[in-house]
Amino acid sequence: MVANKIPAIVCTASDLNFENDKHNLECLGIRITNRFSSGIAVIDYAKFNKLCLVIADNQLSDMSVIDLVHKLQNKLQNKFIPIVVISDRSERDFVLDIIAAGCTGFVIRPYHLKTLQEHIKNSLSLFYFNEIDDELLKNAMNDITKGNYDHAIESLNEIIDVEKKDAQYYFDLGNSYLLEEKFTKAIIAFNKALKINNLFIKAYKGLAEAYKGKNNIKKYKYYLSKCAEEYAKRDNFEEVKKLFIEILKVDPYSPNPYNNLGINLRKKGQYNLAIDAYRKALALDPKDENIYFNMAKAYFFMKQYADAKKFTLKALNLNPNFAVAETLLKNLNKKLKKYAQS
């Protein structure tokens, strides 16, 4: 495939699949550095080692390959990592789930060598997608270290203006391919959107640092918040936590990024996702009565009135003068009484 062999790790609990894939990967110029049978071993390895290419079988000893891909992408969200899944399962829902988890290639067993080669080639080519803006970001960050804040701000704003439009384009394109069941094209489009998204998250962080250097604390906080919001959308709790702590240092009343995400999801009717976001918001700030109240509202809209009452009471316990929570509680008591009588 290439003159210099590409290093890869292989994740499979099947000796038979490993021997077959090993032979084919070697034919393509792939050098296997490690083989793991369990997902947790791969995740531990990824904490301390650079991953150039991951080949993941759907047979693992401790978790589904969907969970593995999701966990890897969640831990390595600031970096791009090609993950090609080789699977003997091809049901539509399984394929959709593995795409959503973040694979960069999907090969169904039994496969032709050319098919595997094409998926690996597509995955590796994503490394070089958007190289010009990658370089622009790198130069902007160098400007910040040199104190050239205005020039850095100009470059970073240029990245954000262009990249947000491009990210939406590739995301919409990926959805179109999904509807047509062109899964390989959908994977490529979604991963381009993901890489662009990574870029403008870094640009937000860079803008925050530049404005901090200029002693513009208002804009420093604004761009830190934008960065935290994007990480919250991608469910990167550790990054959100770090940024939220920095934001609270300059504004102790700043809104919780996961609470904001929950509100937006609730407005879209995505109540289960909203509740998950609120739980993460509470992990950041367990003494905010507004988050408990928002959790109660999500349960209320789901008609899970007992749970809604539980969280309303928690909100009132933190703030006995919470008027809208008192109104919701009265409404809930009526609903529960009606259900008890029916």
pLDDT tops 50 at residue 91: yes
In the chain, what percentage of residues exceed pLDDT 70?
A: 97
pLDDT at 312: 96
Q: What's the per-residue H, E or C state across the chain?
A: CCCCCEEEEEECCCHHHHHHHHHHHHHCCEEEEEEECCHHHHHHHHHHCCCCCEEEECCCCCCCHHHHHHHHHHHCCCCCCCEEEEECCCCHHHHHHHHHHCCCEEEECCCCHHHHHHHHHHHHHHHHCCHHHHHHHHHHHHHHHCCCHHHHHHHHHHHHHHHHHHHHHHHHHHHHHHHCCCHHHHHHHHHHHHHHHHHHHHHHHHHHHHHHHCCCHHHHHHHHHHHHHHHHHCCCHHHHHHHHHHHHHHCCCCCCHHHHHHHHHHHCCCHHHHHHHHHHHHHHCCCCHHHHHHHHHHHHHCCCHHHHHHHHHHHHHHCCCCHHHHHHHHHHHHHHHHHHHC
For the segment 75-82, the average pLDDT, to the nearest whole number, is: 69
Global pTM value: 0.69
Confidence category of residue 160, pLDDT binned at 50, 70, 90: confident
Confidence category of residue 3, pLDDT binned at 50, 70, 90: very low
pLDDT tops 80 at residue 287: yes
235-250 pLDDT, tens digit per residue, is 777 778 888 888 888 8
pLDDT at 79: 67
97-115 pLDDT, tens digit per residue, is 999 888 999 999 999 999 9
179-222 pLDDT, tens digit per residue, is 898 898 899 988 888 888 888 788 898 999 999 999 999 999 99
Q: Does domain 255-342 have CATH number 1.25.40.10?
A: yes
pLDDT at 4: 58
Fold of 6-128: Rossmann fold (3.40.50)
